[in-house]
Amino acid sequence: MAHQELATQIARYAERDGIIDTPIARLALVRSGQSGEPVHMVQRPALCIIAQGGKRVLLGDAVIDYGPASYLVASLDLPITGAVTQASADAPYLCFCLYLDPALLSEIALTLPPLPAAEDGAGMTLHPMTPELIDAATRLTALLGDQATASLLAPLIERELLVRLMTGPGGGALRAIASGESRTGQIAQAIAWLKAHFREPFSGPHLAALAGMSLSSFHDHFRRATAMTPLQYQKQLRLQEARALMLAERLDAAEAGFRVGYDSPSQFSREYRRLFGAPPIRDIGRLKVMPQIAIAI
């Protein structure tokens, strides 16, 4: 019943497929009337609750299948592949997505009891749904129909959701990242550098120094957090950006590859095909004919 109430609220304000930004800060709603092909995107830190339908997320070597029985938390910026697996015109995929505010997480972390030890682990985790989370998500979504009070109540419900996340299963990782006391928090610093400089070559020792770790420890913790190596992470950022450039600016493959840091057009085409399943010309042609494939959902 609780999920049905959330689904009703999402359906009311998400009338088209795709990600719908809302007037409430950091709240987005997602709808898809059909199961779809894999979508490649960089997932921002967020709480994701599926009210109806199902989704599969690929993160490096990890495969995450989830639906209304669980909630997903991304605590780092992660290049992922996602596909809606359960959806139809009569029962569309409906998802609540609250992007996490680092400043608010840090503020809340200071008010919580100290952790006995900082938690480390995957940057994307799945946990059993709780009545309290689904209730708060429903109340926050319902405020979209009450703009007069939304500016006053939405921040309170957002804080409630974050407190429940940080005190629930796996919440220690969020708290540790927010307070900067964990290895995963240190990995986040290296990820921030990679996102800002993904076009540039990098060295493992440089990233390890940014994270304040030895090289071997850095590689171990980076893979544990992201399910990929730093080089694989950089490649996904480069290829996703190149795909966006070819779509938005109509660049050819050679120019797009050069723009994102590739010196070799053949290497770019080879790695592009490995990630997206088709060479650049064929893939972009398919996206232009079926633009809904490119929607991040």
- pTM of the full structure: 0.92
Alpha helices in the chain (DSSP H): 2-13, 102-111, 131-142, 147-167, 171-179, 183-196, 204-211, 215-226, 230-249, 253-259, 265-276, 280-289
How confident is the model over 74-97, as a mean pLDDT? 95
What are the structure tokens assigned to 272, written together?
């592009």
> What's the CA gap between 89 and 105, in Å, rounded?
37
Pair 29, 141: CB distance under 8 Å: yes
What are the structure tokens assigned to 295, written together?
């929607």
**Amino acid 296: pLDDT:** 46
How much of the chain exceeds pLDDT 90, in percent? 77
> What's the CA gap between 289 and 295, in Å, rounded?
13
Q: What is the pLDDT of residues 104-123, one digit of tens each?
A: 999 998 888 876 655 567 89
How many of the other CB atoms lie within 10 Å of CB of 196? 9
How confident is the model over 232-236, as a mean pLDDT? 97
Pair 97, 48: CB distance under 8 Å: yes
> What's the CA gap between 118 and 177, in Å, rounded?
9
Residue at 280: amino acid letter: P
What are the structure tokens assigned to 106, written together?
């840090």
